[in-house]
């Protein structure tokens, strides 16, 4: 099968047809006609085999994750996911693999009403690059630079399970069978918090999605906003599997482990109740895990006592 046959057979047949797309797959460029008074949020992420997912990861999971991590970036800005393009590099054309990969892509696209509008296919080591675009009312997008001292720090869902799954896969820990499937699902099929992002846009001052680890990503907010923060370890949302497997080291892994794709955000005291009520009504789990301050550093406490914890998140380039 040649490149254009591959594209026609597997990438052009999709359910979602957005009205803003005036020209989709098949030309040199796609054409978009955005609605008035909307800003377009744009993000790009690359997933490389053996770096961002284990080499034996199912192709459907790879397709899902390639889209999910980009939609998570849009969620962190409070944007509505709208269109994606995919550049995929394949060692060879394996139709079964490509079919399952596309299932993962289009399942998530259909769920969030996202249209695939273009991309590229090449031969080489397996990697996938997705560019995702979303819509946000003008002037309302959440940024990393809006935090001020004295605001409350929140996170959605539970953190650390994806990192725990990776440790299990790499034979560094043994996750009990009762928890194994759920933690591996967190690694392979992350759920972008799109609805949460659009909800907190009305209340939060700054936000980011957790991809490299909670501490590493909180550091981005602190640097952009020129604030410090304290994290209360007692309040970290940890799963039963995490606690059972890691014990006293659970908090350390949860703070440093990547691939959570939960939202980390800060809210002023005046917006705290409104935000909590709105998320609760939507059934979105969240936890208040600390507070910003003017220290220009990140600290952690346990039982109201300062503790030192290793805080080294994921680095793409290390010495």
What is the layout of strands, in order, in the sheet containing 298-302? Answer: 204-209, 263-267, 152-156, 286-293, 228-232, 298-302, 305-307
Interatomic CA distance for residues 20 and 8, integer angstroms: 22
Q: How many CB atoms lie within 10 A of CB 269?
A: 10
On the question of pLDDT at 317 being above 50, the answer is no
pLDDT band at 312 (very low <50, low <70, confident <90, very high): low
CA distance 170 to 6: 34
Ranges of each domain in the chain: 3-137, 152-306
Chain centroid to Cα 307, Å, comes to 28
CATH code for the domain defined by 3-137: 3.30.1330.10
Known binding residues for substrate: 52, 259, 314
Task: Provide the annotated binding site.
Answer: 28, 43-45, 52, 73, 119-120, 144, 209, 211-212, 259, 314
pTM of structure = 0.92
Among the ranges given (2-6, 136-140, 156-160, 290-294), the one the predictor scored with the smallest mean pLDDT: 2-6
First CA to last CA across the chain, in angstroms? 41
| Most confidently predicted of 25-29, 77-81, 306-310 | 77-81
% residues pLDDT > 90 (the chain): 82
Q: What is the pLDDT of residue 93?
A: 85
Q: Could you read off the pLDDT of 171-213 as tens digits, one per residue?
A: 999 999 999 999 999 999 999 999 999 999 999 999 999 999 9
Domain spanning 152-306 has what CATH number? Answer: 3.90.650.10
Partners of 127 in beta bridges:
48, 89
Burial 219-249 (b: 16+ CB within 10 A, else e): bebbeebebbbbbbbeebbbbebbeebbeee
Q: Is 122 helix (H, G, I), strand (E, B) or coil?
A: strand
For residue 4, the SS3 value is helix
Q: Which residues are annotated as a binding site for ATP?
A: 119-120, 144, 211
Annotated binding site for Mg(2+): 28, 43-45, 73, 120, 209, 212
């Amino acid at each position: 099968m040649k490149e254009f046959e591959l594209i026609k057979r597997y990438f052009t047949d999709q359910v979602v047809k957005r009205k803003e797309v005036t020209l989709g797959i098949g030309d040199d460029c796609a054409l978009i006609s955005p609605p008035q008074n909307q800003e377009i949020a744009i993000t790009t992420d690359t997933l490389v085999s053996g770096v961002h997912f284990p080499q034996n990861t199912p192709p459907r999971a790879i397709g899902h994750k390639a889209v999910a991590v980009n939609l998570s970036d849009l969620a962190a800005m409070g944007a509505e996911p709208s269109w994606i393009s995919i550049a995929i590099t394949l060692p060879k054309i394996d139709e079964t693999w490509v079919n399952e990969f596309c299932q993962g892509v289009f399942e998530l696209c259909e769920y969030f009403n996202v249209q695939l509008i273009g991309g590229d296919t090449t031969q080489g080591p397996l990697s996938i690059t997705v560019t995702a675009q979303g819509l946000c009312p003008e002037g309302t997008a959440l940024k990393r630079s809006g935090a001020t001292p004295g605001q409350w720090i929140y996170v959605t869902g539970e953190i650390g399970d994806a990192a725990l799954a990776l440790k299990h896969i790499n034979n560094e820990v043994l996750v009990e069978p009762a928890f194994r499937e759920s933690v591996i699902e967190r690694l392979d099929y992350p759920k972008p918090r799109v609805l949460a992002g659009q909800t907190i846009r009305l209340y939060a001052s700054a936000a980011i999605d957790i991809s490299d680890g909670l501490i590493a990503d909180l550091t981005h907010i602190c640097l952009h906003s020129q604030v410090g923060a304290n994290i209360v370890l007692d309040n970290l949302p940890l799963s039963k599997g995490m606690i059972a497997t890691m014990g006293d080291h659970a908090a350390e892994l949860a703070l440093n482990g990547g691939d959570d794709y939960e939202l980390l955000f800060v809210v002023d005291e005046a917006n705290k109740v409104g935000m909590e009520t709105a998320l609760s009504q939507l059934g979105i789990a969240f936890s208040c895990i600390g507070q910003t301050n003017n220290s220009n550093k990140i600290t952690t406490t346990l039982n109201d006592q300062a503790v030192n914890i290793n805080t080294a998140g994921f680095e793409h380039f290390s010495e």
